[in-house]
């Protein structure tokens, strides 16, 4: 049995496996590791690396061990990945039409974003920020140009590929939370996992873990109407990270919150980037937030400028 270890680097239980866990892997995890927490093949390889590296890790909690494994991978991947591109747009155009009138919104937009960054996007109301985010989230499509996210060519993908992209690669956070009012926090967070075919027990365990990460472990049975705006937004961040996406898109995530809650949400996003290696791309009208993070973009007259 794995024992809890109070002072583990990386904190306890901060990382999840990216893969879908099959019943077979649970059995082989038991055999290989003597552990009854479900593990994927990657997790088991990490465990083997950890075991081989140092016997010290043997008494750690399983999730602490995964954190070590993740740290190990992050260190080894760091050199290779320092210049990886997350988002690449080339000559993207988008217009809306009403009757016969054309309203050009995005005008020949090209930019590239490296991975593991907090990106902010500001711009006047109606300038096309949400439209751009919707295109990057594969909710809408561009009229022309190339949109590539983590190597996925969104402009050339099939509907099925886009569904997988939305379910696995990205997480989305909205200004008005979009939580199901009659579901508890834990069910709201676990729902995308149920929809991906993950079993209820594993989905619930991952949802619980995600809620702990946003410091809402004690509110897991509460429904949205029993929570403050800041708490609801933290639940929606937990829902956005529960499947361990590579990238989070957030459209005015603090637009409905007071300054303290906004600060907490921004700290969570910063921690997503720093601790979990998830890139965050957020739209805001708040000048202070718009100037925070790693890359500050500004949209005006259908064009993007970097500040």
Ligand X SMILES: Nc1ncnc2c1ncn2[C@@H]1O[C@H](COP(=O)(O)OP(=O)(O)OP(=O)(O)O)[C@@H](O)[C@H]1O
Residue number, 33 or 236, with CB nearest to Mg ion: 236
The entry of ligand X, Mg ion, none that residue 182 binds, CB within 5 to 8 Å by partner kind: none
279, 119 Cβ separation under 8 angstroms: yes
Q: Which stretch binds Mg ion (CB under 5 A): 70-78, 97-105, 108-116, 126-134?
A: 126-134
Residue 131 sits in the site that holds ligand X (CB under 6 A): yes
Residue 236 sits in the site that holds Mg ion (CB under 5 A): no
The entry of ligand X, Mg ion, none that residue 188 binds, CB within 5 to 8 Å by partner kind: none
3-state secondary structure 192-239: HHHHCCCCHHHHHHHHHHHHHHCCCHHHCCCCHHHCCHHHHHHHHHHH
**Given phi > 0 = left and psi -120 to 50 = alpha, else beta, which region is 52?**
alpha
* Angstrom distance (rounded) from CA 108 to CA 207: 40
Q: Which stretches of the chain are assigned E, i.e. beta strand?
A: 85-98, 101-114, 118-122, 144-149, 152-153, 170-173, 247-251, 279-283, 295-300, 303-306
- Which of 253, 306, 249, 262 lies closest to 123 in space, CA to CA? 306
**Interface characters, 69-98, with ligand X (x: CB under 6 A):** ---------------------------x--
Q: Which of 128, 171, 290, 293 binds ligand X (CB under 6 A)?
A: 128
Residue 130 sits in the site that holds ligand X (CB under 6 A): yes
The entry of Mg ion, ligand X, none that residue 125 binds, CB within 5 to 8 Å by partner kind: ligand X
Q: Which of 7, 125, 201, 260 binds ligand X (CB under 6 A)?
A: 125
Residue 130 sits in the site that holds Mg ion (CB under 5 A): yes
The entry of ligand X, Mg ion, none that residue 38 binds, CB within 5 to 8 Å by partner kind: none
The entry of Mg ion, ligand X, none that residue 33 binds, CB within 5 to 8 Å by partner kind: none
**Interface characters, 34-73, with ligand X (x: CB under 6 A):** ----------------------------------------
Residue number, 40 or 130, with CB nearest to Mg ion: 130
* Angstrom distance (rounded) from CA 6 to CA 285: 41
Residue 129 sits in the site that holds ligand X (CB under 6 A): yes
* Angstrom distance (rounded) from CA 85 to CA 132: 18
Listed as own residue / partner, the contacts of 126-132 with beta carbons closer than 8 Å and 24 or more positions apart are 127/299, 127/300, 127/301, 127/302, 128/94, 128/299, 128/302, 129/251, 129/283, 129/299, 130/251, 130/283, 131/94, 131/105, 131/106, 132/106, 132/299, 132/304
Q: Which of 120, 127, 204, 284 binds ligand X (CB under 6 A)?
A: 127
Number of residues in contact with ligand X under rule CB under 6 A = 10
Residue 305 sits in the site that holds ligand X (CB under 6 A): no
The entry of ligand X, Mg ion, none that residue 176 binds, CB within 5 to 8 Å by partner kind: none
**Enclosing H/E stretch for 6:** none
* Angstrom distance (rounded) from CA 102 to CA 62: 57
Instruction: State the nearest-atom distance from the C-beta of 252 to Mg ion, in Å.
Output: 6
Residue 7 sits in the site that holds ligand X (CB under 6 A): no
Instruction: State the nearest-atom distance from the C-beta of 124 to ligand X, in Å.
Output: 7
Interacting residues with Mg ion (CB under 5 A): 130
Binding site for ligand X (CB under 6 A): 96, 105, 123, 125-131
């Amino acid at each position: 049995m794995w024992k809890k270890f109070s002072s583990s680097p990386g904190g306890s239980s901060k990382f999840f496996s990216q893969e879908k866990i099959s019943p077979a892997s649970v059995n082989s995890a038991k055999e290989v590791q003597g552990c009854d927490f479900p593990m994927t093949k990657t997790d088991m390889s990490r465990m083997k690396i950890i075991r081989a590296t140092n016997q010290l890790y043997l008494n750690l909690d399983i999730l602490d061990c995964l954190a070590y494994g993740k740290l190990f991978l992050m260190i080894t991947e760091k050199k290779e990945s320092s210049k990886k591109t997350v988002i690449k747009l080339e000559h993207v155009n988008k217009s809306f039409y009403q009757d016969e009138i054309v309203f050009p919104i995005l005008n020949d937009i090209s930019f590239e974003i490296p991975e593991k960054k907090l990106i902010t996007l500001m711009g006047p109301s109606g300038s096309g920020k949400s439209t751009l985010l919707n295109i990057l989230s594969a909710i809408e499509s561009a009229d022309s140009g190339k949109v590539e996210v983590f190597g996925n060519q969104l402009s050339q993908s099939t509907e099925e590929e886009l569904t997988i992209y939305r379910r696995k690669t990205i997480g989305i956070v909205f200004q008005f939370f979009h939580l199901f009012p009659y579901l508890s926090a834990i069910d709201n967070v676990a729902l995308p996992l149920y929809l991906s075919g993950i079993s209820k027990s594993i989905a619930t365990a991952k949802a619980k873990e995600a809620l702990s990460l946003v410091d809402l472990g004690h509110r897991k049975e509460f429904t949205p109407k029993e929570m403050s705006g800041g708490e609801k937004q933290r639940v929606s961040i937990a829902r956005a990270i529960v499947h361990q996406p590579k990238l989070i898109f957030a459209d005015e995530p603090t637009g409905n919150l007071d300054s303290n809650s906004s600060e907490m949400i921004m700290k969570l996003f910063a921690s997503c980037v720093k601790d979990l290696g998830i890139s965050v791309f957020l739209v805001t009208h708040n000048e202070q937030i718009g100037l925070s993070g790693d890359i500050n973009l500004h949209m005006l007259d259908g064009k993007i400028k970097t500040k």
